[in-house]
Amino acid sequence: MPPRNVLLSALALLLGAAALPPADAGAVPAFARRYKMSCTTCHAPFPRLKDYGDEFAGAGFVIPEEEKERDYVSEGDDLLWLNRVFQLGMRLDAYGVWEGDADVETDLQTPWGLKLLSGGALAKGISYYFYFYMSERGEVAGVEDAYVHFDDVGGAPLDVMVGHFQVCDPLMKRELRLTFEDYQIYKEKIGGSGTNLAYDRGVMLAYGIEETGTDLVAMVVNGNGKDEAGDDHRFDDDKYKNAGLRLAQGLGDVASVGGFVYYGKEREADTGNANEILYWGPDVVIGYGPVTLTAQYLLRTDTNPDFADTEPDEEIETAGIVAELVFGPQGEDGRHWITLLYNRIDSDLDGEDYESVTASFGYLLARNLRLMAEYTRDVENEANRAVIGFVSGF
């Protein structure tokens, strides 16, 4: 049977699984185990967070009214508040991929990723979260998210997170997307630059004004990603720090609009040449019934992304768009989900352009096991990709 027919047959089997009864979710992720609640309390569908899930994460992965002293080791010491049970969860993703016109058209990426996750209270009002990629695309990728979260510092609606996180988390959370296709503009590095809006080390502050529905997020990061420390045991590879600020305003219960700005500077060690980076752009989220639309526009400018001895006469501009429409025809507790995703990158620098259109179908075989089938058209390179697989948490 030709490879394309093999993939289409497998796709038909996956879509046919929608007629199967749901499996008994004998093992559920750590927080569901801890509070004895369904995954749907926070996710719709897994791993995408709904509003309550965002609130739960913002409170440091605890439900204050459900916190009981018997669940913690304190031994009568007011300064000790340890989880009696250390919370662990796993995530396992596996895919079959067909890419037309590629040297290897079909590929069994099984597993694509296997990660160990943990999170919970570190002390009263202080929590932690981390995950370790035991396997990502066949190699040990190590720690990605890892931070300590201080909730309501000084009794004010101010949260402080210190550690390792994604700069784009206040915008669109890459780790929680429903598609195999990524949010491309966030991870794009221009020319020889080492800076993007994915993982970085630093401090993030979040302040919420409940009366007006306004949220402010500020951050200071190294600006060079999550690479290992150098021979000098330092993570940052230059003297500069980068800073970002996001303002979001809620518009009733159906929408929010926001703006994001990020400025940084980086220096190449070999030449000593520097590059200045500026991101800015608006974003919008609209949710009505079973439909949620999230859209982001970002303009990035670089003064010298290739660290040339002579800077370009003009700044290098890179414009990015990511727009995602998620439709759950049966509502938040439904089992069928449709996602449409559009990516576009237009850059003054050759080789950086990208444009794709993605349609993805998901079916919950169990609350913590989602089957998916996806098609992506790479408009820029006139190529096609089809993916089938599953995402699981336990």
For every residue of 318-351, which 3-state class applies, written as one string?
EEEEEEEEEECCCCCCCCEEEEEEEEEEEECCCC
Number of H helices, E strands in the chain: 4, 18
- Going by pLDDT thresholds of 50, 70 and 90, the confidence category of residue 56 is low
Sign of CA dihedral 104, 361, 291, 28: negative
Identify the pLDDT of residue 50. Answer: 59
pLDDT band at 44 (very low <50, low <70, confident <90, very high): low
Enumerate domains of the chain plus CATH numbers: 3-17+27-393 (2.40.160.10)
What one-character DSSP code corresponds to residue 228?
A: P
Kindly report the average pLDDT of the chain as a whole number: 86
pTM of the model: 0.85
Strand partners, 343: 322, 356
User: What mean pLDDT is predicted for residues 222-239?
Assistant: 91
- Asked if residue 344 lies in contact with residue 325, where contact means CB atoms within 8 angstroms, the answer is no
- Return the residue matching tokens 């950086």: 352
Give the CA dihedral 144, 148, 152, 155, nearest 10 degrees: -160
Q: What is the mean pLDDT of residues 22-50?
A: 57
| 381 vs 13 pLDDT, higher one | 381
Q: Which of 133-147, 315-329, 374-388 has the lowest mean pLDDT?
A: 133-147
